[in-house]
Amino acid sequence: MKITLLGAGAWGTALAIAFAGKHAVTLWSRELDVAEDLRTLRENRRFFPGYHLPPTVQIETDFAQAISGAELLVVATPIAGLRPTVDRLKALDSVLPVLWVCKGFEAGSGKLPHQVVREVLGQSVPHGALSGPSFAEEVAAGQPTAVALAANDAEFAARVAAELHTTRLRIYANDDLAGVEVGGAVKNVLAIATGVCDGLGLGLNTRAALMTRGLAEIARLGVALGARRETFMGLAGMGDLILTCTGDLSRNRRVGLALAEDKSLAQILEELGHVAEGVYTAREVARLAGDLGIDMPISQAVAALLDGKLTARAAVDLLMARDPKAEIA
């Protein structure tokens, strides 16, 4: 299959490496310096140093040329870059199948990625999300990884999952697109919370409780948005939550650890040097929860912490002071 990856950040580069052994891969970069490094050094020194592209991966900076001849497009930008990218596809009258790997809700609109794509490209263009417990570094290194490919068209999901499946990257088809996207989005918010928990030295009991109650929040929001509850027991729900909350490669977890040290958000993001989607997703999740009347105290506490309305200690105290309630409700 001829695959074009749109975005040469960490994930675009990692997937180019992962798919190159089986497919004809083109990697499009909007940054000319990144493209030059990829062509000459076969390394993304700016966004993903230490990993080398196979010689078969083609590097392109011309957007129209990059998608020319492709059979599948994969948008590998942060959520903020999704709409501008599909706008460019729309301008070129592209009807090529589109996948995306970004996770979150669009800032301002609160839309999930598939809602953005459908708004721009329409329902008829085949589309879906690739999501699950995966760090770009481990995918690029060939570490065994399992993710979900979700689309509302079950046949499309199954066919593309089978095409992309490798001995190192297991891809499971899923037809609950909203569920997979909600799981991928909200787990980043919970990872900030668990980073705060660990940074304050609150112990493993606290972390386990936080993750478990956080999963309940994810499921409540997902069901309200049309997802199936069982999706959150799978790769894009519990699997991604466990990885992002406990893995040292998690940017969102690192944000939480730094917040526990009372660092400012501006300082944290500058030191991080990469996008941590949970920072922007937390506000959208808190707003959605309020609009829909959904109880999401952990997510709302994270949003308040990021907005400077609570300290890390105060957020913990607020959560622990809540009245007791039934676990399953």
As annotated, the active-site residues are 187
State the distance between the two ends of the chain, measured CA to CA, in whole angstroms: 46
Alpha-carbon span 187 to 219, nearest angstrom: 11
d(CA 260, CA 48): 27
Do residues 253 and 244 lie in contact, with contact meaning Cβ atoms separated by under 8 Å? yes
Q: How far apart are CA 265 and CA 268, in angstroms?
A: 5
Alpha-helix runs per DSSP H in 150-275: 154-164, 177-199, 204-224, 240-246, 251-259, 265-272
Integer Rg of the chain from CA: 19
Residues ≥6 apart with Cβ < 8 Å to 54 = 17, 20, 21, 42
Contact between residue 253 and residue 236 where contact means Cβ atoms under 8 Å apart: no
Which tokens belong to 122? 């329409």
